[in-house]
Amino acid sequence: MAVYSFYIFDRHAECVYKRRWLPRPASIAGKSRPTSDTPTVANGLATMPSTRTTDDDAKLIFGTVFSLRNMVRKLGGEDDNFVTYRTSQYRLHYYETPTNIKFVMLTDTKSPSMRVALQQIYINLYVEYVVKNPLSPAEHPGGLGVDNELFEQSLEQFVTRVLS
Amino acid sequence: MSSSTKVSRIGEELWKTKIDKVNAELVTLTYGTIVAQLCQDYDGNYHDVNKQLEKMGYNIGMRLIEDFLAKSNAGRCANFRETADMISKVGFKIFLNVTPTVTNWTSDNNQFSLIFDENPLADFVELPDDGRAQDELWFSNILCGVLRGSLEMVQMQIEAHFVSDVLRGDDTTEMRVSLVRYIEDEMPPEDD
């Protein structure tokens, strides 16, 4: 199983952490819905030059999970939440804490549910290393984000050892 | 009623299994030192000391809530009454090993009191005998801030203040908590 990328969004809708493991393979270049400025080519994938940056990706992903979450809640009630969705190219896993921190992971389509893994990342890594670090700011305004070596190292280990 | 006892069982269980304990006197003395230092720094202006304690608590609460959620795995409360139970029977239980009584609800269910039968922060404490501290200083005011900070993170804006304190010679230690509003989700800023 391959993990493509991982994002954390805080309650202010700010992307406070992003990490990509593989250089985006051409085959998942179309991983966000095609928009007007990224015209889809005949076979739908692969050949279009990617003009999006990781920042754009993060915004698109936030938009996707934010809208999807709200629609899911409208349909299934306030406590409902979506867990994952899958396209032909990737699978997106989603975990949101009651404090509105959103954890998003993109993996290949064959991967099992990552909900527990995301929860583990929140409980054992994010809370332990970021929240409990007295010198790290409680909020991460202005795109500064989580800049914490312990967290990054442990995340790296978690993803390479536990998930692969 | 049963939901309330269920909540207290959750608190007990967490306290027994997941919580690292520290010496209570260490906490009491450390907190006392902080308050004493603030009283010195603000030159006995207890109004400012209260404010500063509240602010410190707020900053603690913003982080503490994540630890609380990570340990308790609690979901969202359905209403403010559930929230109050959760605060008293799980929150205070696991962090201070006390369960203040939730009482004095207003009819709209937006305001309640927490009565502290015991308060580990205030052991050994006698307020300064300068004639003002008894009327002005809320010694445990940090707790108000902790509640405000932690509830803000779970989309509740609240206001909390002490209305009586045994340290001042009152019969009970009572904190009043009022729900101001539920905070809406923030939207990402518009793209340029």
Pick from A13, A14, A98: CB nearest B75: A98
Across chain A, what does the average pLDDT equal? 81
Question: Which pLDDT belongs to residue A74?
Answer: 92
Question: Which pLDDT belongs to residue B89?
Answer: 93
Contacts of B72 in chain A (CB under 8 A): none
Pick from B70, B74, B155: CB nearest A122: B70
* Assembly ipTM: 0.85
User: Beta-carbon neighbour count of residue B48 at 10 Å?
Assistant: 14
Question: Which pLDDT belongs to residue A81?
Answer: 86
Q: What is the pLDDT of residues A101-136, one digit of tens each?
A: 999 999 999 989 999 999 999 999 999 999 998 888
The continuous run of DSSP H or E covering B31 comes out as helix B24-41
Question: Which pLDDT belongs to residue B192?
Answer: 54
B150 to chain A: closest CA residue: A99
A99 to chain B: closest CA residue: B154
CA–CA separation, A61 and A7 (whole Å): 9
End-to-end CA distance of chain A: 6
Using N-to-C axis directions, what is the helix angle for B46-72 and B2-17, rounded to 10°? 90
The pLDDT-based confidence of A36 (bands split at 50, 70, 90) is: very low
Range of the domain at A72: 3-162
Question: Which pLDDT belongs to residue B119?
Answer: 93
Question: Which pLDDT belongs to residue A47?
Answer: 40
Question: Which pLDDT belongs to residue B100?
Answer: 95
Q: Is the pLDDT of residue A51 over 80?
A: no
Question: The whole model's pTM is what?
Answer: 0.85
Give me the mean pLDDT over the B143-156 stretch. 95
CA–CA separation, A10 and A118 (whole Å): 15
Contacts of A14 in chain B (CB under 8 A): 188
Cβ–Cβ under 8 Å, residues A39 and A48? yes
Tally of structural domains, chain A:
1
Length of chain B: 192
Could you tell me which residue, A23 or B126, shows the higher pLDDT? Answer: B126
Question: Which pLDDT belongs to residue B1?
Answer: 56
Pick from A78, A79, A131: CB nearest B63: A131
Does B66 contact chain A (CB < 8 Å)?
A: yes
Q: Do B188 and A59 touch (CB under 8 A)?
A: yes
Could you tell me which residue, B178 or A141, shows the higher pLDDT? Answer: B178
Pick from A63, A99, A132: CB nearest B153: A99
Question: Which pLDDT belongs to residue B112?
Answer: 96
A131 to chain B: closest CA residue: B63
Across chain B, what does the average pLDDT equal? 92
One of 3.30.1380.20, 3.30.930.10, 3.40.50.1360, 3.90.1150.10 is the CATH number of B2-182, namely: 3.30.1380.20
Question: Which pLDDT belongs to residue A53?
Answer: 76
**CATH code of the domain in which A115 resides:** 3.30.450.70
Q: What is the pLDDT of residues B27-70, one digit of tens each?
A: 999 999 999 999 999 998 999 999 999 999 999 999 999 999 99
Does B189 contact chain A (CB < 8 Å)?
A: yes
The pLDDT-based confidence of B74 (bands split at 50, 70, 90) is: confident
Give me the mean pLDDT over the A73-94 stretch. 90
